[in-house]
Copies of this chain bind each other. A is one copy, B any other.
Amino acid sequence: MSSKLSLARPVDTEPAEPTSGTDHVALRLWLRLLACHNLMEEQLRTRMRESFGTSLARFDLMAQLYRYPEGLRMREVSRLLMVTGGNVTGLADRLVAEGLVERRDDPMDRRAYRLCLTARGRSQFADMAEQHEQWVVSLLAPLGERNLAELGELLGRLKNQLGTL
């Protein structure tokens, strides 16, 4: 397992003391975003493991298959998850062995197949997704409704802007 872990970004790389003189607004913002991301992900990772014995990678793979009921080719899954084929293959093999995912012939390409959630896979994912959303709600709620709406709006703008790069 451990050899497959990447070097995650540090949980909190924001220097405790502001760097002297100049402002560094943008860098500070990025380090805060990084810290929020890592703290949230760590919480979700732990809860997912403790409640469902599931990794985030597995949850994300199932989420993609849930979004595409007609199935996805391996290379599409890899692209969506930005991973090497090898890792997706290993994860998919396990999900197939557990009866949560099945390989179906690809009507567009005789040599290829598509990965699809089985009925049991869809139902298990739906349960996990519901719980996952409740965790997200509970992690964010203390910020207050108004701040959440504002933060969501600003992140939406930033996302759109970054998406055009």
Contacts and interface: CB of A to CB of B under 8 A. Distances in A.
B91 A165 contact: no
A145 B23 CA distance: 12
B81 A7 contact: yes
Given A37-B37, A63-B13, A152-B28, A8 B133 contact: no
Contact of A3 (B4, B57, B142): B4
Interface residues of A, number: 75
Interface in A53-110: 55-57, 60-61, 63-64, 67, 80-84, 86-88, 91
Contact of A151 (B7, B80, B158): B158
Given A133-B27, A151-B154, A57 B159 contact: no
Given A12-B163, A36-B155, A39-B162, A148 B7 contact: no
Nearest to A144: B157
A35 interface: yes
Contacts of A81: 7-10
Contacts of A162: 35-36, 39-40, 43, 139
Interface in A9-27: 9-15, 24-27
Contacts of A87: 5-7
Interface of A: 2-15, 24-30, 32-43, 55-57, 60-61, 63-64, 67, 80-84, 86-88, 91, 133, 136-137, 139-143, 145, 147-152, 154-159, 161-163, 165
11 contacts: A9-B41, A9-B60, A10-B82, A26-B140, A35-B162, A35-B163, A36-B159, A39-B165, A140-B158, A143-B161, A147-B154
